[in-house]
């Protein structure tokens, strides 16, 4: 199979999976078999494209010409390949977890849930492989609308309100800012293609560079830069598998990926440094980074605390991109998979806790580490990755971000990164401490399982919830040792 055909199959697999799931809604086992088959096929196709990127081979597919000289086109390049690997790879454990979670809860509308999930992955891959800004914008909007039914899954007043905030924020930012940025780029350059080194040099200069960067940065509302971040905490009313999709697999990563890709392939890091147009964005990202961490400290609802943690961690990527240095961009790109693996673990754990204990408030989680040792052990590992301690993957991305700040001669942002890591300890470690070191409240005796010793007190969530969270926890460790591979992949983006 030639690479162009493989690229089309990578896009078609989740789309066909969504169709298959919708047709098999009457047969849950078949429906879920179709879901899992689609996840494996999608990841297999993306993995098959990886070697072409490593070999430096150009793979491009033009479907049709939307406007004169502006086609609906796809290509593969290192940054897009990294995002595609994250989205397609993490779809597998998320699908397994979703099956266990939705079944154990007896959720309604499961067919719609898995259909929209597959459509979201289709849109995420369209963004990853977009060959120009128009293609990226179109799939960016498909991602917004395909995830709206997931956010409003429960259909109650709280879910509908969250849905209005979700759509309102994301549509407003994409139409008012992102679309304007795309049109302005076309007007100034005559092209929307992504090109190594960017397309703006010689076509725009002065304050307009900073203005255009602002339109892109805030137009990518899924990056959740303050003040356009409210949609993310609001969307936490959705089922936990949706939260995993929002925070790790597709949604927020689409936002920061867009910012990073625009800076590398539209502005060009050398041009941005020469113009000095991204300094304001460094401070805006730092404000979001620290403010969200401080807000996270005040939240007692576990998912809400994790939501503000995500807002903070996304700002790491925006900050690295804004530094416009080789190390900064590398660190920003590395933080996409590192944060994704750590944060999906934390949300899987939050969902497992809810399934097993029906608890959402951190203050009610004293002593659950003895009842749920696998879940809380995974939560500890995921937390250490978010904090940035080795041997977890998050250590590498934060190292390169700090090196990027040093390379840009901006030591203040090294301080920002260090302070944020300390705040991460402040809002994540108390959850672990309560689970393992605080005594559980006295409860009425319950019927025992008949097990003895260690297993006598274990009351974990269903196995389809526990296996994925253990796998992703181990994945955070594996990423630490895989960092050289990702660094070599990203060198092809930064250096060419």
pLDDT tens for 225-238 read 999 999 988 888 87
Higher pLDDT, 442 or 16: 16
Q: Output the pLDDT for position 154.
A: 85
Instruction: State the residue for tokens 């979670």.
Output: 101
Query: Residue 451 — very low, low, confident or very high, per pLDDT cuts 50/70/90?
Result: low
Higher pLDDT, 330 or 57: 330
Do the beta carbons of residue 94 and residue 84 sit within 8 Å?
Answer: no
Q: Tens digits of per-residue pLDDT, 381-391?
A: 999 999 999 99
Backbone angles phi, psi at 341, to 5 degrees: -70, -40
Could you say which DSSP state residue 361 is in? Answer: B
Could you say which DSSP state residue 267 is in? Answer: I
For residue 453, pLDDT over 70 is answered with no
Q: d(Cα 91, Cα 85) in Å, to the nearest integer?
A: 10
Query: Residue 314 — very low, low, confident or very high, per pLDDT cuts 50/70/90?
Result: very high
Nearest to residue 236, comparing CAs of 166, 312, 146? 166
Could you say which DSSP state residue 324 is in? Answer: T
Nearest to residue 102, comparing CAs of 16, 25, 39? 25
Do the beta carbons of residue 42 and residue 91 sit within 8 Å?
Answer: yes
| CA-derived radius of gyration, the chain | 22
Mean per-residue pLDDT over the chain, rounded: 91
What is the average per-residue pLDDT within 206-230? 93
What is the average per-residue pLDDT within 63-74? 87
Q: Residue 279 CB: number of other CB atoms within 10 A?
A: 16
For residue 435, pLDDT over 70 is answered with yes
Q: d(Cα 303, Cα 350) in Å, to the nearest integer?
A: 7
Q: d(Cα 219, Cα 209) in Å, to the nearest integer?
A: 15
Do the beta carbons of residue 309 and residue 385 sit within 8 Å?
Answer: no
Backbone angles phi, psi at 278, to 5 degrees: -105, 5
Name 74's bridge partners: 61, 130
Nearest to residue 17, comparing CAs of 33, 1, 29? 33
Angle at 364 between CA 363 and CA 365, to 5 degrees: 95
Instruction: State the residue for tokens 């594996």.
Output: 478
For residue 496, pLDDT over 50 is answered with no
Do the beta carbons of residue 332 and residue 313 sit within 8 Å?
Answer: no
Bond prior to 391 in cis (omega within 30° of 0): yes
Could you say which DSSP state residue 241 is in? Answer: H
For residue 328, pLDDT over 80 is answered with yes
Backbone angles phi, psi at 277, to 5 degrees: -90, -5
Query: Residue 310 — very low, low, confident or very high, per pLDDT cuts 50/70/90?
Result: very high
Do the beta carbons of residue 344 and residue 468 sit within 8 Å?
Answer: no
Nearest to residue 495, comparing CAs of 279, 325, 369? 325
Query: Residue 454 — very low, low, confident or very high, per pLDDT cuts 50/70/90?
Result: low
456: tokens are 């006598």
Q: d(Cα 358, Cα 354) in Å, to the nearest integer?
A: 4
Q: Tens digits of per-residue pLDDT, 183-209?
A: 999 999 999 999 998 999 889 888 999
What is the average per-residue pLDDT within 439-454? 57
For residue 282, pLDDT over 90 is answered with yes
Q: Tens digits of per-residue pLDDT, 356-384?
A: 888 889 999 999 998 999 999 999 999 99
Nearest to residue 307, comparing CAs of 364, 252, 256? 252
Nearest to residue 464, comparing CAs of 206, 279, 240, 232? 240
For residue 450, pLDDT over 60 is answered with no
Q: Tens digits of per-residue pLDDT, 116-135?
A: 999 999 999 999 999 999 99
Q: d(Cα 25, Cα 110) in Å, to the nearest integer?
A: 8
């Amino acid at each position: 199979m030639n690479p162009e055909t493989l690229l089309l199959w990578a896009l078609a697999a989740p789309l066909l999976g969504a169709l298959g799931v919708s047709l098999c809604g009457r047969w849950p086992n078949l429906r879920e078999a179709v879901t899992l088959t689609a996840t494996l096929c999608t990841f297999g196709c993306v993995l098959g494209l990886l070697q072409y990127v490593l070999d430096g081979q150009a793979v491009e597919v033009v479907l049709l010409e939307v406007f004169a000289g502006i086609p609906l086109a796809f290509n593969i390049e290192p940054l897009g390949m990294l995002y595609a690997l994250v989205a397609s790879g993490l779809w597998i454990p998320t699908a397994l977890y979703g099956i266990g979670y939705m079944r154990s809860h007896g959720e309604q509308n499961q067919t719609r849930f898995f259909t929209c999930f597959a459509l979201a992955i289709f849109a995420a891959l369209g963004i990853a492989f977009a060959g120009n800004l128009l293609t990226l914008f179109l799939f960016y909007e498909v991602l917004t609308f395909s995830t709206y039914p997931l956010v409003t899954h429960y259909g109650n007043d709280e879910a509908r309100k969250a849905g209005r905030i979700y759509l309102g924020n994301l549509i407003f930012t994409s139409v008012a800012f992102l679309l304007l940025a795309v049109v302005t780029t076309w007007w100034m350059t005559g092209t929307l293609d992504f090109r190594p080194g960017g397309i703006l040099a010689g076509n725009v200069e002065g304050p307009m560079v900073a203005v255009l960067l602002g339109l892109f940065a805030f137009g990518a509302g899924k990056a959740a830069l303050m003040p356009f971040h409210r949609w993310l905490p609001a969307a936490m009313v959705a089922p936990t598998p949706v939260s995993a999709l929002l925070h790790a697999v597709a949604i927020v990563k689409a936002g920061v990926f867009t910012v990073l890709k625009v800076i590398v392939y539209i502005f060009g890091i050398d041009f941005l440094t020469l113009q000095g147009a991204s300094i304001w964005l460094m401070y805006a990202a730092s404000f979001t980074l620290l403010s969200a961490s401080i807000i996270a400290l005040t939240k007692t609802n576990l998912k809400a605390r994790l939501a503000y943690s995500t807002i903070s961690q996304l700002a790491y990527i925006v900050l690295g991109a804004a530094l416009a240095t080789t190390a900064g961009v590398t660190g920003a790109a590395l933080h996409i998979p590192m944060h994704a693996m750590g944060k999906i673990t934390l949300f899987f754990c939050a969902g497992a806790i809810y399934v097993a204990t029906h608890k959402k408030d951190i203050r009610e989680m004293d002593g659950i580490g003895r009842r749920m040792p696998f879940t809380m052990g995974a939560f500890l590992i995921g937390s250490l990755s978010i904090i940035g301690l080795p041997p977890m993957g998050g250590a590498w991305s934060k190292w390169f971000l700090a090196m990027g700040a040093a390379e840009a001669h901006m030591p203040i942002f090294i301080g920002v990164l260090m302070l944020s890591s300390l705040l991460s300890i402040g809002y994540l470690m108390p959850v672990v401490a309560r689970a393992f070191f605080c005594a559980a409240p006295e409860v009425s005796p319950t019927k025992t399982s008949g097990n003895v010793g260690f297993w006598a007190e274990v009351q974990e969530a269903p196995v389809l919830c526990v296996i994925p969270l253990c796998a992703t926890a181990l994945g955070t460790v594996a990423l630490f040792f895989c960092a050289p591979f990702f660094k070599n992949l990203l060198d092809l983006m930064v250096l060419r």
